[in-house]
Amino acid sequence: MEALARFLGIKEPQNADLAETAVQLPKARVVNALFAHVAAACEYDIRDPKTWSHLTAWQARYLLVLESLGQADSGSYQLSEVESQAVAKHRPGAKA
């Protein structure tokens, strides 16, 4: 949390919490801060190298959201080869 607060320019980041962080941000940045918290939790959950061989549906959805956001932003983000392979069976229309 402290690292995120520092990144967002929060005063006294060592004491920041989610509610305080949201209050200190301009309204236009609150959604970004919330997404950053969700992304940090999702990334933490997929940190184990063995995760890639057995992604859960929600882990795959998170990666597919990142892929979709990257495509919407002129291809600014693409899944890595291992991420693409791991989400293949979770893509819409894929056979289980």
Please give the distance of CA 84 from its chain centroid, rounded to a whole number: 16
Q: Specify the pTM.
A: 0.73
Query: How big is the chain by its Cα radius of gyration, in Å?
Result: 16
- Read off the DSSP letter of residue 46: T
Region class of 77: left (phi > 0), else alpha (psi between -120 and 50), else beta = beta
Other CB atoms closer than 10 Å to residue 33's CB: what's the count? Answer: 19
pLDDT by residue, tens only, the chain of 96 residues:
676 677 667 777 777 776 766 777 788 887 887 888 788 888 889 999 899 899 999 999 999 999 999 999 888 889 999 999 999 999 988 876
